[in-house]
A and B are shown apart, each in its own frame.
Chain A
Amino acid sequence: EDKVVQSPLSLVVHEGDTVTLNCSYEVTNFRSLLWYKQEKKAPTFLFMLTSSGIEKKSGRLSSILDKKELFSILNITATQTGDSAVYLCAPFNAGNNRKLIWGLGTSLAVNP
């Protein structure tokens, strides 16, 4: 059965800190891994990773995938209060029953 584990479950930091969020997975027919940020309601797309070792960057956020060790990390540097959210990772199972397998998320709180 496909499995996704995100760690830590929750995290409290101060503005300006750097955080690393982890996502490990066991997914058959793995094709890619997506990161989303969920504030209040609708998850918003951050990154899609398909190749190992290639870092994706968007401002203060960056992410990398390791397909051999089956994990991904999401880094946020110089955190701001607006980064407070739940961060979800979702590997994509591209088998016959294609779907995203969602982790429970890491809840990040950034205090001023």
Chain B
Amino acid sequence: KAGVTQTPRYLIKTRGQQVTLSCSPISGHRSVSWYQQTPGQGLQFLFEYFSETQRNKGNFPGRFSGRQFSNSRSEMNVSTLELGDSALYLCASSPFSLMGTGYEQYFGPGTRLTVT
């Protein structure tokens, strides 16, 4: 089975721009969660999508949004980029939603976003 894939792997953007990241989960997985990872803060939960619905959300501003398509692929969008948004963005897939009982997640390689 193919693992979780994320595109692009690296991205450089300027403050004020917006960016869209993509995540394709493992075949058959319906849950996709997004995380931001920085050296000082570690992994911070952004949101989870399950069956095209946002099921759960972390403490991030509204500039961070996402969606999930019928094939379970998910996109994350960040508008009006700030320098502090520079981070590794990881997505993780699971057969079950975090809102249920399944929480073993399989991570993608991440997208390294640099905001200048």
- B interface, how many residues as a size bin? 20 to 34
- Taking the complex as formed, is A65 at the interface, i.e. its CB lies under 8 A from any CB of chain B? no
Tally of contact residues, A, Cβ under 8 A:
20
A18 within 8 A of B: no
Distance of A44 Cα from B45 Cα, bound (Å): 17
List A77-99 residues whose CB lies under 8 Å from chain B.
Answer: 88, 90, 92, 97-99
How many Å lie between the Cα of A99 and that of B58 in the bound state?
8
Number of A-B contacts (CB under 8 A): 53
- How close is B81's CB to chain A, nearest CB, in angstroms? 21
**Chain A residues with CB below 8 A from B103, complex form:** 32, 34, 48, 92, 98, 100
From B12-20, B63-71, B72-80, B105-113, the one touching the partner chain is: B105-113
Taking a contact as CB atoms under 8 Å apart, the answer to whether A43 and B42 are in contact is no
Question: A19 CB to closest chain B CB, in angstroms?
Answer: 20
Segment of A22-30, A55-63, A102-110 engaged in the interface with chain B: A102-110
Residue in A48, A88, A99, A105 whose Cβ sees the most chain B Cβ within 10 Å: A99
Name the distance in Å between B102's Cβ and chain A's nearest Cβ. Answer: 10
Q: Which residues of B contact A100 (CB under 8 A)?
A: 43, 45, 98, 103, 105
Instruction: For B104, give its contact among A34, A42, A102, A103 (CB under 8 Å).
Output: A34
A43 adjacent to B107 (CB under 8 Å): yes
Q: How far, in angstroms, from A102 to B107 measured CA to CA in the complex?
A: 14
Given contacts A34-B104, A44-B107, contact A98 B98 (CB under 8 A): yes
CB pair B45 A42 closer than 8 Å = no
Q: What are the 7 closest A-B residue pairs judged by CB atoms, nearest first?
A: A102-B43, A42-B107, A104-B42, A41-B109, A99-B45, A98-B98, A41-B110
For the complex with contacts A42-B107, A48-B104, 14 further pairs of A-B residues with Cβ separation under 8 Å are A32-B103, A34-B104, A43-B90, A88-B43, A90-B43, A97-B56, A98-B56, A98-B98, A98-B99, A99-B45, A100-B45, A100-B105, A102-B42, A102-B45
Which residues of B are in contact with A by a Cβ distance under 8 Å? 3-4, 35, 41-45, 48, 56-58, 88, 90, 98-99, 103-110
